[in-house]
């Protein structure tokens, strides 16, 4: 006859039952430790992911945001990403060149289940995160070098602010052909900064063409052309507003996206855009033509602290072609500092 479980454990005839009873205690403890240990590992991984996301989120706040407000944002983002415990902003430092360094940590006393048998009620979990944000473009300055062609055209810089979807014009350059009839064609270019519906003129380049008998005693910067028996002499004058102005100085520190657009109503391609892979190959950056099918990021196309010579082929010539075939030449200079763009941020810990 088989013995019941109770009879088996209470039997005094053998020694196996006491041994099994004693062995159950460490076995249960080991199982409990394993369960709580795995729970701690999962909690720590979740906290690390949440803290990393929170550290990145506070780098998109304006540089004027106080440490106290960044701390609030850090904790809110940490909790929103299922982080348990308390997140702390240990430091947020912006260097003179605009580089931001962020250090954050989070701690949580995780309640245990089985370890309470051993009087261990909680397990302390701590994680750290560090991020570094490079300086990014905050200002651009556009200045016309030379524009030519028989077609009127307009180049516009468009931008979209952080957290918005509206696209706004920030700068534009218009060109009007002078109808003189010379082979290349020149005219008047006007550069404006744009603020809503207000256009402010900052530069005007006026090119005047005439026929001459010879090219003797040419003025500085004169452009010469020959067509048949005719000789054409073109001179261009630049006027800045104000007189010591640098061109169209545009604040782009609040912009999440930027792109250039060239409108040429008389051309076969009436609209060219730097962020359109079908038309961006008509843009030249420092004498190099943009590759077919490539989108241009203006934030990287405009260098920090140095000028970039850029140009557009407005549609009269097929591409690829030498930059000398282009019609719309300008110089753009960038200034970089702390910027809210998230793409400049990388985790370092």
| Torsional class of 342: left (φ above 0), alpha (ψ -120 to 50), beta (otherwise) | alpha
pLDDT one-digit tens code per residue, 270-293: 999 999 999 999 999 999 999 999
Average pLDDT for 143-150? 96
Q: Percentage of the chain with pLDDT > 70?
A: 89
Q: Tell me how far apart the alpha carbons of residues 243 and 263 are, in angstroms, rounded to a whole number.
A: 29
**Tokens 């440490």 found at:** 67
Q: Tell me how far apart the alpha carbons of residues 193 and 247 are, in angstroms, rounded to a whole number.
A: 9
Over 60: is that where the pLDDT of 22 sits? Answer: no
Average pLDDT for 162-174? 95
Over 60: is that where the pLDDT of 302 sits? Answer: yes
Q: What is the mean pLDDT of the chain?
A: 89
The confidence score (pLDDT) of residue 8 equals 46
Over 90: is that where the pLDDT of 5 sits? Answer: no
Q: Tell me how far apart the alpha carbons of residues 116 and 113 are, in angstroms, rounded to a whole number.
A: 6
Predicted TM-score (pTM) of this structure? 0.77
pLDDT one-digit tens code per residue, 183-224: 999 999 999 999 999 999 999 999 999 999 999 989 999 999
Q: Percentage of the chain with pLDDT > 90?
A: 70
Contacts of 104 (CB under 8 A, 6+ apart): 51, 54, 55, 74, 87, 88, 89, 90, 128, 129, 130
The DSSP H or E segment spanning 131 is strand 122-133
């Amino acid at each position: 006859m088989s013995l019941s479980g109770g009879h088996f454990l209470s039997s005094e005839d053998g020694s196996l039952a006491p041994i099994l009873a004693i062995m159950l205690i460490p076995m249960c403890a080991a199982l409990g430790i394993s369960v709580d240990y795995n729970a701690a590992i999962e909690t720590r991984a979740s906290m690390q992911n949440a803290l990393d996301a929170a550290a990145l989120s506070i780098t998109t706040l304006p540089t004027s945001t106080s440490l106290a407000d960044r701390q609030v944002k850090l904790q809110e983002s940490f909790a929103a990403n299922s982080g348990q415990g308390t997140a702390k902003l240990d430091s947020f430092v912006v260097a003179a060149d605009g580089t931001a360094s962020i250090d954050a940590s989070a701690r949580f006393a995780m309640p245990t289940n089985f370890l309470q048998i051993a009087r261990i009620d909680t397990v302390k979990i701590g994680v750290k995160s560090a991020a570094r944000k490079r300086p990014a473009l905050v200002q651009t300055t556009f200045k016309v070098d030379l524009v030519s062609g028989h077609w009127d055209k307009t180049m516009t810089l468009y931008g979209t602010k952080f957290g918005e979807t509206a696209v706004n014009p920030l700068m534009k350059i218009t060109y009007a052909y002078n109808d003189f009839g010379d082979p290349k064609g020149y005219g008047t270019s006007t550069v404006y900064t744009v603020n809503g519906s207000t256009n402010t003129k900052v530069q005007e380049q006026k090119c005047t063409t005439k026929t001459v008998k010879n090219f003797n005693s040419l003025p500085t910067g004169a452009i010469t052309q020959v067509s048949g028996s005719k000789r054409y002499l073109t001179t261009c004058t630049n006027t800045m507003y104000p007189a010591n102005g640098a061109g169209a100085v545009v604040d782009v520190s609040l912009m999440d996206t930027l792109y250039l657009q060239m409108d040429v109503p008389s051309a076969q391609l009436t609209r060219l855009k730097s962020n359109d892979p079908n038309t961006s190959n008509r843009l030249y950056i420092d004498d190099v033509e943009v590759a077919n099918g490539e989108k241009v990021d203006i934030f990287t196309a405009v260098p920090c602290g140095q000028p970039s010579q850029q140009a557009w082929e407005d549609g009269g010539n097929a591409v690829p072609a030498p930059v000398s075939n282009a019609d719309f030449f300008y110089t753009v200079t960038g200034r970089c500092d702390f910027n809210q763009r998230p793409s400049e941020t990388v985790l370092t810990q």
